[in-house]
Structure 1
Amino acid sequence: MEFQAKWIRTSEETGGVCPVFRKGWKTEKKVERATLYLTALGVYEAHLNGKRVGKYVLAPGWTAYDKRLQYQEYDITDLLREENELTVTLGKGWFRSPMPGWQDTPDKLQRIGRPGGILGGVHIVYMDGSEEVIVTDQSWIWGESRIRFSEIYDGEFCDDTFVTKEWNTVKEFAWSKEILIPQEGEEIREQEVVAAKSVFRTPAGEMVVDFGQEITGYVEFTVDAHAGDRIHILHGEVLDAEGNFYNANYRSAKAEITYICSEGTQTWHPALTFFGFRYLLLDEFPGEATPEQFRGIAVYSDIRKTGEIQTSDPALNQLISNIFWGQRDNFLDVPTDCPQRDERLGWTGDAQVFTKTASYNFDVERFFTKWLHDLAADQMENGAVGHVVPDYLVGGNASAAWADAATICPWQIYQTYGNPQILKDQFTSMKKWVDYVTNHTTTPCLWTGGEHFGDWLGLDAPQGSYKGSSREDFIASAFYAHSTELVVKAGHVIGEDVTAYEALHENIVETFRNTYPDYRTQTEHILAVQFGLAEDCQKTADALAQMIRDDGCQMRTGFVGTPYILHVLSNYGHTDLAYTLLCRKEYPSWLYAVGKGATTIWEHWDGIMENGEFWSTDMNSFNHYAYGSVADWIYEQAAGIRVVEEHPGFEKAWIQPKPGDQLEWLGASIETRHGKISSRWTHTDDAIRYEIVTPVPAQIVIGEKEYAVEPGKYIFWE
């Protein structure tokens, strides 16, 4: 910030009540320009002269707060009057949230107990050239707001009859200003508005609102009520087998809103929290509710849609919709695992498996740049990377395939967008991660002796295990090789000496091949091929295909194997089997959930089992984007649009569509930094028609023929 403001807070504890800070002043000269600079320890909403300042929801966002805190700049010139009043309402947000909900740690208890506050000021430039600065200091006052409670997990309570009558002098307090950074990530914004689809009574007699689509955000309702009427609403993702409201899978998160009405017609939505939901239980609501009274407002980072996939199969199109919605719903400033239960954390494993799909679906360069800066900030001195970023699970062991987000994510963002700055920013972090493994393994040139999540939720897991049956040391060593290779590639791009890492990678591959001559699970076969570790990749891919067929054309993979399974099959001549898996409707499959009415991607293939019962209440999210990573196979293999590694950012393209007999047609496009690349194939009576548009030079492969083309539109027949 450009001036010396003071951190200010309330002069006494307010419990769950959100305080509102207030400052008034006069502007007697003509204003040329006025700018508000503002940040908070918590989340804030600012109003100037009764008008909302900016469109940022849940500002200042979520960063590694101890080291990085964003501040925002707002042009408030048009909001100024002669008599001015600026108010800032402060909620706990992520800064003081009891995250994670399922455990108490010293870090969590410290976080809950630390003070909230705001810092900022107004910089006014007058027409006569003079300037005025109004900063946060002891001249401000505070009072209780009408928001009587707000918290990330539990929701919000607003009393619209409450009037702030008692104002108190604020208290200045010491907090670092060295951690302040200008807004770096995309702003969180209100996005799509989803109209309520229906209001109905369940068999249990509950009044429920259905939006027909699971979203992250909040409901806005309009009601004609008397002062003091009470509204109480619970949020849920699914109905149970009998058609009744269900949200036991939210675990300890109350996910509720309470609103005390004022007199007359009024419209309200929460301001300082968010929910993941499709259904609302109207526990208390005045009058007979109608769909027209409710609007679901989707809230997520302001990422621009860049990808599109369409096919001849309605079920597959619904899956694609689910993948896009799962990304929207979980890209709320941080790539979270889920938006609803007492978690909502930036799990690194989920992020790394989905980064490629994410970067094709939406423009996420700025989004991931900010998040990766937080990853580096939270990375331990010894190089270990936490399970979540920002790291609210302090003290856990670094896990393979999760902590490897430190290398996989920056490399993919570079490949998709072509800007080497992300590699320059993250290179030290990338090396530190590989060095951590090198220094903590019990077997040189492998990673053994660690504690990992394995092939999380693998379908081949033994009874009672979440980790799948693939050997943990095998997975860890495979990712050790992959991350080391990415350090080498990144170093070559930005001109760093990576000779030692080149030698290390060669030794890892040799040691891996000597140690693991056999592959026991689908995932072990997949990783050996995907990371170039198998002595004979074709033979290993063929063995994988046979194993899948022997398993009844079913995947047996989890979080680690699933993102790569179709790629390995297609790259080694088994595209027919890849389509069989993609289009399979029975459990386990991507389309199984679609058949059960899913509108986002599930955490478990059978979150709702075939008999209609739930997999569990313990860990059963119906909005978990990770398995949506299958979309990158559709872009890259089915539609055939791939970046050329030596020409990142789609400066040149490789386009090799691979049609499948299960579909009549398929088309996809990606809006790149150089324009939109699109590819579509259609089965006709006696041939396959290809329509390809490329704004960049490209190698187009149709069947056995390869064409070097300049930018343009091309039609091929096979």
Structure 2
Amino acid sequence: MTPHPYGLTVEQRHEPLGLDAARPRLSWKLAAERRGAAQSAYRIVAAPRIVDLDDPDRLLWDTGRRESTEGLLVPWDGPVLASSTRYHWRVTVWDEAGAEGGSARSWFETGLLHRDDWQAVWIGRDHATAPPFDPPQRMPDSVATGTTPPPLYLRKTFHIKEKPVRARLYATARGVYEPRLNGTRVGDHELAPGWTDYHVRLQYQTYDVTDTLRTGDNVLGAVVADGWWSGYVGFDPRRPALHYGDTTAYLAQLVLDFADGSRRVIATDDTWTEGEGPIVVSDLLMGEHVDARRREDALAPVAVLDTDPGPLVAEPDHPVRVTRELAAVTVHRPGPDRHIVDFGQNLVGRVRLTVRGAAAGQRITLRHAEILDGDALYVANLRRAEATDRYVAAGDDTEVFEPRFTFHGFRYVEVQDYPGELAPPDIAAVVLHSDIPWTGRFECSDPAVNRLQANIEWGQRGNFVAVPTDCPQRDERLGWLADAQIFAPTAGRNADVSAFFARWMRDVVSGRTAEGAFRDVAPVVALYREGAPAWGDGGVIIPWYLWRAYGDRAALAESYEAMRGWVAHIRRHNPDLRWRHRTGNSYGDWLQIDATTPRDLLATAYFARSAQIVAEAAAVLGRHGDAAEHRALHTGIRDAFVESYVDGDGTVTGGTQTGYLLALAFGLLPPRLVPAAVAHLAADLDKRGNRLTTGFVGVALLCPVLSEHGRADLAYALLHQDEYPSWGYSIRHGATTIWERWDGWTAHNGFQSPATNSFNHYSLGSVGDWLYGRVAGIDQSPDSVAYRELLLRPLPGGRLTWARAEQETVRGTVHCGWSLEHGLLTVDVTVPPGCTAVLEVPTPDPDSLREGDLPAAGAPGVLRVERTAARATLRLTSGRYTFTATAPTP
């Protein structure tokens, strides 16, 4: 079967609605049943309608047949794109022999590409005429002060004589908003427009509302709440006006195209009205209060707050959506006025509560927590975040309460003053996160390791809400750079994070100091200092990751000057090439346990790594002078590191696991000292009974470095460890997400300090990259980009009898798995069309290696077999393979 394209994307999204890229990049993946299949050429055609794709006279763009093996991020070089226009496109591929293969088609639609496309103005509450906010009784303290205004309920009535053939709503807010048309919610976006550096860029969304309009009168509306714009953000107790603004506003225009070619625009202006409604107040951290007795009264005239649209950009990645619902596992009633609901999973989102038979005015309170302390919620770790929702019943037989503009991190909910007995079917957890495509799967024979993988996945879901946050429950939820750079390789195994991280990197870059230093967080709120070692370095590491994993040259190029500037900033203040000055709030190996890694050692190691990455990025971008300069800088830093922190016997100053891991992982040691350093690392683990001491920085390197240097036995011992401190310890004590700390709760000491004690914090879950990359065996060669050249190295070990992983890469599906049975090792692999792979099969008898019924060397698709005493190394073309060999000795 010839290769056929699938998974078509434009700017790394499937059928995007509302692009503002002038030359969007088109991509496709390949699939084929036979071995050795590859693409040798492609042809792209584009047209305004699907039927026009087959009419040469109506094509807008025709590349003709282009000789190319590439199907990744091919830039549009057709005619200049028009605003608010849909383009259909089709790609046809030819195989490696020149025979025509399959075709696939897709579409994308542009947004408002020019500033003068916007007729809308910013509208909001006219505070000069609005009545004073009178908060109801029993409101949260933060709300009862009156500092948080009620959400805006906006409305505009308009009349049309006929239904349009096409209608698009373009909308955004200073705040978070939910658009409505004729009483129906528009779209499925949650917490739009998302969180960006609003001073620099504010995203707008595009909605297809063609089918919602009707002949005659129509009502366009929206509800706008504080959100990140003017709500509580981070742990800064000051009012939000110091972050972005203290007044919510809405900007939108509805564009109607009619069959006769005419167009009409209904935009936000001074003819709209506003008022209040059932949502009394809503805050992302504090919660939402709804009084169902209140009706919408959008009758007051709005104020025009601003006529300049501002720094608008089309939303470039996947929005936050509801992705699933979880039923209650148990409902327990510890007292007459409260129920405790357990959803069995620490998650991020909100609760949907069905209320039956409540009297009008009945008040019901929902409090959220990640963990219980006896029969009570443990909420000390939430700090100032109240995470409390309140509902006042209207008095109907059945009512449903579901907050709209808040979210919480929780497993447990305490429902206070519910009328009667709360039954499990009457309450559900609604899961929210950025709806990035889930593309990876890992599983193995050990249920505890599968639980670890599930905990990693749930931590990623819960902390990828508009930005990659540190934790979703307390008064923080900031985009910490270190957490993100440490976890990015694991995140990219589980999901396609290309557009998500590329968009966030724009906030990382724009948030730099005047001297060119990255910050600790992005978007920049609450913390305005220079980034710390490993934190600021995230601004260098993540763009390089996007290039290696996704081939995103544009993301690398956009960040390059900032990457270069960061290294220059460090060098300027540390001319001796030891990073000891201008280290920000140097965190070291944050939350490491029973050890302290010297902070200047860690900083200097990251200085070396960032200089090395800038050199490599410069070479990719053709900046050869920069590349040479930074290679020399990297050599100098490495020499300084050895001189200052490494003894002649391979001892690294401080003697910590993280110190050795940094030196080994970042290639800072002379080759002659590597075996000794590995021995010192192993000795430290041995003396601790195979227990780790690594914090956020070291933990990502621990198992990969051990495996790379012949000590996979220790890596597996750590993986299976369930005594404190370990991943297994938290799992044994009920963890369903990754904890922030190894000692978040211990049998011997109870809860740790609530100052930093999140039970959903993905950093320590960075081991997930190793589960995919070594345990199952999916990786790419050091010089490969976007998985063009696979490196498949399954690593049987520990108490596992099988493991397997699957990754939907940007080129196609990669699979690698192994099993042990009756002394036989079986390895299954899948290599996408157009890719090649190096497969290492661990076996004491390489001559026993077979593919199906054939000796491996004679099997179709096997290009080369090399043998050593402990393994066979094969070079493969694309296709599916099953190899068997004598199993390795435990």
Equivalent position of 1:713 in the other structure: 880
Q: Which residue of 1 aligns with 2:94?
A: none
Between the aligned partners of 1:204 and 1:657, the Cα distance in structure 2 is 56
Q: Which of 659, 669, 676 in structure 1 is aligned with 2:796?
A: 659
Q: Deviations over 1:529-560 (max 9, x none)?
A: 11000123232122211111122211111111
Residue in structure 2 matched with residue 74 of structure 1 by the alignment: 207
The one of 275, 292, 304 equivalent to 1:160 is 292
Q: Report the counterpart of residue 389 of structure 2 in structure 1.
A: 257
> Structure 1 residue 108: deviation in Å?
4.7
The equivalences for 1:47-126 within 5 A come to 47-81=180-214, 82-101=216-235, 103-104=236-237, 108-111=240-243, 114-126=246-258
1:314-345 C-alpha deviation (Å, 9 max, x unpaired): 11111111110100011011000111111111
1:43 maps to a residue whose letter is V
- Provide, for residues 130-161 of structure 1, a one-character-per-residue CA deviation record: whole Å limited to 9, x for no partner: 11111111111110121101001100001111
Aligned to 1:389: 522
Q: Over residues 464-500 of structure 1, what are the superposed CA-to-partner deviations in whole Å (9 max), with x where a residue is unaligned?
A: xxxxx11111111100110111111111112123222
Deviation at 1:205, TM superposition (A): 7.9
Work out whether residues 36 and 76 of structure 1, in 8 Å CA contact, stay in contact via their aligned partners in 2.
yes
Mind listing any 5+ residue stretches in structure 2 that lack a counterpart? Answer: 1-111, 134-147, 843-870
Counterpart selection for 1:680 from 793, 812, 817: 817
| 2:836 is equivalent to residue 697 of structure 1 | yes
Q: Residue 279 in 1 paired to residue 416 in 2?
A: no
SS of the residue 1:37 aligns to: strand
Q: 1:686 is aligned with what amino acid?
A: G
Q: Distance in 2 between the 1:608 and 1:408 partners?
A: 32
Paired residue secondary structure (2:561) = helix
Give the counterpart letter for 1:372 in structure 2: M
Query: What is the TM-score of this pair, normalised by structure 1?
Result: 0.96
Answer whether contact 1:375 1:390 (CA < 8 A) is retained: yes
Cα deviation for residue 109 of structure 1 reads 4.9
Q: Is the 8 A contact 1:406 1:430 kept in 2?
A: yes
Contact 2:777–2:817 under 8 Å retained in 1: no
Post-superposition shift, 1:372?
Answer: 0.6
Tell me whether 1:200 sits opposite 2:329 in the alignment.
no
Instruction: Report the counterpart of residue 592 of structure 1 in structure 2.
Output: 729
| Distance in 1 separating the partners of 2:309 and 2:578 | 43
Asked if 1:20 is matched to 2:153, the reply is yes
Report the TM-score, using the length of structure 2 for normalisation: 0.78
The Cα of 1:206 is off from its aligned counterpart by 4.2
Q: Deviations over 1:288-316 (max 9, x none)?
A: 10110011111001111111111111111
Within-5 A mapping of 1:287-686: 287-441=420-574, 443-449=575-581, 450-451=583-584, 452-461=586-595, 469-497=596-624, 498=626, 499-518=628-647, 519=652, 520=654, 521-535=656-670, 536-611=673-748, 613-686=750-823
Shift of 1:91: 0.6
Deviation at 1:166, TM superposition (A): 6.2
Aligned partners of 1:406 and 1:213: how far apart in 2? 33
Specify whether residues 104 and 296 from structure 1 end up closer, same or farther in structure 2 by C-alpha distance, changes over 3 A only: closer
User: Which letter maps to 1:661?
Assistant: G
2:766 is paired with a residue whose SS is helix
Amino acid at match of 1:11: D
Aligned residues: 707
Letter in 2 for 1:474: L
Deviates more, 1:339-348 or 1:158-167: 158-167
Structure 1 residues 38 and 420, CA, compared in 2 at 3 Å: closer, same or farther?
Answer: same
> Which AA in structure 2 matches 1:528?
A
- Give the SS at the match of 1:173: strand
Counterpart-to-counterpart distance in 2, 1:384 and 1:440: 11
Identical pairs, percent: 37
2:602 alignment partner AA: I
Aligned-partner Cα distance in 2 for 1:166–1:5: 19
Equivalent position SS for 1:219: strand
Report how far residue 202 of structure 1 moved: 3.6
Q: Secondary structure at the match of 2:400?
A: strand
Is 1:213 paired with 2:328? Answer: no
Residue type of the alignment partner of 2:640: T
Distance in 1 between residues matched to 2:222 and 2:295, nearest whole Å:
15
Contact 1:98 1:111 in 2 (8 A): no
Give the 4+ runs in structure 1 shifted more than 3 A.
Answer: 202-206
The amino acid of 1:88's aligned partner reads: A
AA paired with 2:611? T
What is residue 465 of structure 1 aligned with on the other side?
A: none
**One-letter identity of the residue aligned with 1:250:** L
Distance 1:171 1:539, change over 3 A: same
SS of aligned partner of 2:566 = helix
Paired residues of 1:185 and 1:333 also in contact (CA < 8 A): no
Aligned partner letter, 1:110: L
- The structure 2 residue matched to 1:138, chosen from 270, 281, 286, is 270
> In the TM superposition, what is the alpha-carbon distance from 1:100 to its structure 2 partner?
2.2
CA RMSD of aligned residues (A): 1.7
Q: CA deviation at 1:670?
A: 1.1
Offset at 1:93? 0.3
**1:27-46 superposed matches below 5 A:** 27-46=160-179
Q: Distance in 1 between matches of 2:694 and 2:736?
A: 22
Q: What is the aligned counterpart of 1:244 among 369, 373, 376?
A: 376
Find the residue that maps to 2:243 and give its secondary structure.
helix
Paired residue type of 2:123: I
CA contact (8 A) 1:203 1:244 kept: no
Matching residue's letter, 1:338: C
The CA deviation at 1:59 is 0.3
Deviation, structure 1 residue 434: 1.1
Task: Give the distance between the partners of 1:345 and 1:398, measured in 2 at CA.
Answer: 14
SS at match of 1:94: helix
- Is the CA contact 2:737–2:761 (under 8 Å) kept in the aligned structure 1? yes
The corresponding residue for 2:118 is 3
SS of aligned partner of 2:693: coil
Deviation at 1:201, TM superposition (A): 2.4
Q: Find the counterpart in structure 1 of residue 97 from structure 2.
A: none
Q: Show structure 1 runs of 5+ residues with no match.
A: 462-468
Structure 2 Cα separation of the partners of residues 577 and 165 of structure 1 = 66
Tell me how far 1:459 sits from its aligned partner. 0.6
- Cα distance in structure 2, aligned partners of 1:112 and 1:331: 22
- Cα 1:341–1:174 change in 2 (3 A) is same
Counterparts of 1:217 and 1:495, CA distance in 2 = 45
Greater displacement, 486-495 / 9-18: 9-18
Deviation track 1:61-112 (CA, whole Å, cap 9, x = no partner) reads 00011101000111111111221111111111011122223x446x855237
Distance 1:115 1:688, change over 3 A: same
